[in-house]
Structure 1
Amino acid sequence: MRGAARLRTDVRGVTIVEFAIILPAMLSLICGAIEFGHMLFARVVLEGAVTEAARAATATLETKESERTAIMRASIAKSMSDFGTAPGKSIEIVTTVYRDFSTAFPETYTDANGNKQYDKGEPYVDRNRNGMWDNATPVAGNTLGGPGDVVSYTVRFPKRVLFGFVGTAIGYGAGVIPVSASTVVRNEAVVTSAS
């Protein structure tokens, strides 16, 4: 009986048991914070990379479009090289060309029925005063546009999940966190010819 009483009052080793109980939750919080911070950092870097790549593509209109596209891709890949892409995935770049800024965005409207699309009869702002609602109207067949065109750049970066168990817990069990950034810029209005 004395031995059992001594065991009940002996508190040596309690700290180890408490630590073993708390450790999984503590590690999950730390790894989750690292994953979330890394994702935000990747997003900020991608936004800067897209802006810089768009600037490079708009300022070199005397260069062939294929070379401008290669310059843009290389610029984004270099900026994002510190962030791992998910296995089997690659960076996706989508460009859309418009004649001017007014055609790059749909006219503003009030979504009276809440279906997230314009329906005939809903009030709208008629920017171009043509008496009808206009959606964004891209120019077909041109990847980076010509002089004075407005180009929308959207980049989707498949960031690799750092901690698989955190990715699974936050809904990215496939190991990919989709990070994207967009910008809209106007190409230089004048092309200088090489002399």
Structure 2
Amino acid sequence: MNRLIRDARGVTIVEFAIILPAMLTLICGTVEMGHMILARQVLEGAVVDAARKATASMETGEADRRAIMIASITSSMASFPRAPGQAIDIQTRVYADFSSAYPETYTDTNGNNRFDAGEPYVDRNRNGQWDNATAKTGTLGGPGDVVSYTARYPKRLLFGFVGRFVGRANGVLPLSATTVVRNEAVVRS
């Protein structure tokens, strides 16, 4: 009996079996994080490139612009699996100029994530009041307008079980990227 208690054979395999799940989760999580960072960077470039292609001519209609952007982003993101049954979503907003495309910065003194009267702000246009981003109506914009494109890409996680640890049990990591471009100043006739 004493000899059986002192026998240490097999201890290594038991220790390995105990630590293996944590080690695999850590390794897979690191790979997933790296893949997500790379996918985010590629998406940023893809959105800029797609917006450039889509706004190359004012004669291109809204449906065609959207199709050009989706095709371009899909091509650029081919190495990053998209979640089954989910599509790339593109949201557009039109502004008169670049200064109206971004809200004036402010200090959120009460921490409610919105501007309230009395909070300090940077008055970029020097009109004496805080201005939010002021979008125009429409999604295509006219000659010289500034258009903001936001693309949302539903990236499928490489390791589905990692999703449970990062709050993505459905296995989808929504990535988004935004770019702002100016339409051509004139329409060719």
Scaled by the length of structure 2, what TM-score is found?
Answer: 0.89
1:69 corresponds, among 66, 70, 82, to 66
The CA deviation at 1:112 is 3.8
Corresponding residue for residue 94 of structure 1: 91
Counterparts of 2:13 and 2:126, CA distance in 1: 74
Counterpart code for 1:18: E
Counterpart mapping for 1:97-136 below 5 A: 97-136=94-133
Counterpart code for 2:170: A
Distance 1:110 1:9, change over 3 A: closer
Corresponding residue for residue 39 of structure 2: 42
Corresponding residue for residue 144 of structure 2: 148
Counterparts of 2:27 and 2:120, CA distance in 1: 49
The CA deviation at 1:179 is 1.0
The CA deviation at 1:88 is 2.5
Counterparts of 1:114 and 1:16, CA distance in 2: 52
Corresponding residue for residue 191 of structure 1: 187
Q: Is the 8 A contact 1:60 1:68 kept in 2?
A: no
Structure 1, unmatched stretches of 5+, are: none
Question: Between Structure 1 and Structure 2, whose CA radius of gyration is higher?
Answer: 1
Q: How many residues were matched structurally?
A: 189
Cα deviation digits, residues 92-134 of structure 1 (max 9, x gap): 1101010101111122334343333222343433333334332
Asked if 1:29 is matched to 2:26, the reply is yes
Counterparts of 1:11 and 1:119, CA distance in 2: 68
Distance 1:37 1:9, change over 3 A: same
Counterparts of 2:162 and 2:15, CA distance in 1: 23
The CA deviation at 1:44 is 1.0
The CA deviation at 1:167 is 0.5
Q: Is the 8 A contact 2:54 2:60 kept in 1?
A: no
Distance 1:125 1:9, change over 3 A: closer
Asked if 1:20 is matched to 2:27, the reply is no
Residue identity over aligned pairs, in percent, reads 69
Cα deviation digits, residues 154-175 of structure 1 (max 9, x gap): 1111111222221011110122
Structure 2, unmatched stretches of 5+, are: none
The CA deviation at 1:64 is 2.6
